[in-house]
Structure 1
């Protein structure tokens, strides 16, 4: 498949055409065939390697069945599945998707061991035409604690460590970057590796791991803050004491640097774990439902890089609070 730039007119037209691969579920949330395909492929692999460990993930096959899209996903997954595997049956693909779907799995106590997957985080930005840094994220939860996390961001460019987030968002050809793989294991730190080829080419991982350390700044005016693009500097709790500026070259003691962000996806955790941003703040409405797959893998990557993720009151996020399905977080603000 040939891949054009995400925000090019031709790409956008094809995505929204009748033959496109972007749809809406629940009347408001964009979803692509890739979301279902990635979930199926990861689920199939995990079921072979860890058959007794459940999967908690974002998608299920009900949307596909109700819109007669099962065959399309089966075709995509069959083409991408390992040639070393036995041929997939038609029902194997929706069953693999539903392994992580909305089927209620009662875990009972915090002794459960299960995987948490966000097949593609950042779909909304891509649909809107942004050059979104989308992320595939997988985490392992053991006895209520995150033990392992892996994030892949194919659009993360080589030069990102030397650019501001504004420049990253405006980067002319994100897909020319080699991408990044971030891995964290409890007690072992957070590490990154470049992906030499992405999107349409074989994804070969280059040699050499780099250890991630969060920004060590301890003085507020020297820190680099970021918030979602949907929020403003007024959402920062420091706004009563400090003005926000986007000019890194002229900050006085009463100002803080507010980075322009493209941090709607899990890339916000990548940005903090790599030390590019000092602090990311998300102020969620009380009625908003917070899903575990939007945060689990990012939490361990930041923690193992020396940082911390908390709710609005400073409490640790409880991934066992949803005692039935392990799908919802209940943070304070």
Structure 2
């Protein structure tokens, strides 16, 4: 068995099981949405997926910490919402007894569900084993019927060692090109649903996102970019997440004429890792904003293991050891190693003029 093989298996199965739950909610018109203090939306799917994943982590690795996006105080006060989520959590399992056994079985009670959600309260940091979890990355995309991802990564002493992304609305086929409308009006119909994963030093893999045990995986690699003018850019849908104007200026500098593909979540990392897209930029919209580690940890590792380079807009590696945010980084530039420096130079030139 290779190093981190158990962690990888638990993470892949946990994300797969949580994705079954999120798909149920995705098909509902009413998703039990509430607003957090920062005005961002959270759904019953976010809470349920976080409970399922943290329960699996704690059953298998009881001493590990988790940095999770959600917490359960709202649910402890709102019993109707709590009961909606419990019905989802109680009714979600893998159609494979051995896979369920690996995860430690079902969540045992409502109180255990709430405790699991609240166990995502780690402060993060540079010491020990800490998981970074985003139960639904791209909640706005999830709500509007676009792309979203269930994201989980293990950091050991601040370094990402295992990363998993469940992307229910991306095509299984790694060779499928990234269409301009990939971020809107999506479904998880037949032929959709992919699970990306990577272990540090062992490459990156994709496999169909199933409902039982793990499907057959195959290695993925970033596509060589021989002519950067023909590259495909990925960027966030929300202008508040990444500066669309700066992205356009960078594309002009690189003489890229194709319109960028706008899609939510770390599905962008997975898409470029398998060569469906080429470059992912997340450009700062505020001098004070700090990216959350759960929004990048899994995707960062998967892209690097697929032959890419991921830095911030100043060329620094993303530093996941500073707590719950990427406090020492500004923005993200992800591209194949061979062209990353060229892209980064264009990014620096455009941003230096602001």
Deviation at 1:72, TM superposition (A): 2.8
For 2:52, what is the secondary structure of its paired residue?
A: helix
Q: Which position in structure 2 is the counterpart of 1:314?
A: 315
Answering whether residue 52 of structure 2 is matched by residue 41 of structure 1, we say yes
Q: Which position in structure 1 is the counterpart of 2:141?
A: 125
CA RMSD of aligned residues (A): 2.8
Q: Distance in 1 between matches of 2:26 and 2:107?
A: 32
Q: Distance in 2 between matches of 1:327 and 1:151?
A: 19
CA offsets 1:222-254 (integer angstroms, 9 cap, x no match): 3222322334364356356355423xxxxxxxx
| Contact 1:292–1:319 (8 Å) recurs in 2 | yes
For 2:197, what is the secondary structure of its paired residue?
A: strand
Q: 1:106 to 1:225 in 2, by over 3 A?
A: closer
Pairs within 5 Å for 1:182-331: 182-196=196-210, 202-203=211-212, 205-207=214-216, 209-229=217-237, 230=239, 231-232=243-244, 234-236=246-248, 238-239=250-251, 241-246=253-258, 258-262=259-263, 264-284=264-284, 285-322=286-323, 326-331=324-329
Q: Which position in structure 2 is the counterpart of 1:28?
A: 39
Deviation at 1:218, TM superposition (A): 4.9
Q: 1:292 to 1:87 in 2, by over 3 A?
A: closer
| Contact 1:317–1:329 (8 Å) recurs in 2 | no
TM-score, normalised to structure 1, is: 0.79
Q: 1:55 to 1:190 in 2, by over 3 A?
A: same
For 1:281, what is the secondary structure of its paired residue?
A: strand
Q: 1:56 to 1:277 in 2, by over 3 A?
A: same
| Contact 2:205–2:220 (8 Å) recurs in 1 | yes
Q: Distance in 2 between matches of 1:182 and 1:74?
A: 28
1:162 to 143, 168, 176: 176
For 1:165, what is the secondary structure of its paired residue?
A: coil
Q: Which position in structure 2 is the counterpart of 1:139?
A: 153
CA offsets 1:100-148 (integer angstroms, 9 cap, x no match): 03xx6475xx232111111111211132x2x322111110001111001
Q: Which runs of 5+ in 1 are unaligned?
A: 197-201, 247-257
| Contact 1:311–1:331 (8 Å) recurs in 2 | yes
| Contact 2:138–2:148 (8 Å) recurs in 1 | yes
| Contact 1:235–1:283 (8 Å) recurs in 2 | yes
Q: Which position in structure 2 is the counterpart of 1:91?
A: 111
| Structure with greater helix percent | 2
Q: Distance in 1 between matches of 2:106 and 2:195?
A: 28
Q: 1:149 to 1:106 in 2, by over 3 A?
A: closer
Q: Which runs of 5+ in 2 are unaligned?
A: 1-20, 94-99, 332-354
Please tell me whether Structure 1 or Structure 2 has the larger radius of gyration of its CA atoms: 1
1:52 to 63, 75, 78: 63
Q: How many residues align?
A: 296
Pairs within 5 Å for 1:107-126: 110-126=126-142
Q: Distance in 2 between matches of 1:315 and 1:75?
A: 44
Deviation at 1:277, TM superposition (A): 1.6
Deviation at 1:61, TM superposition (A): 0.5
Deviation at 1:163, TM superposition (A): 3.1
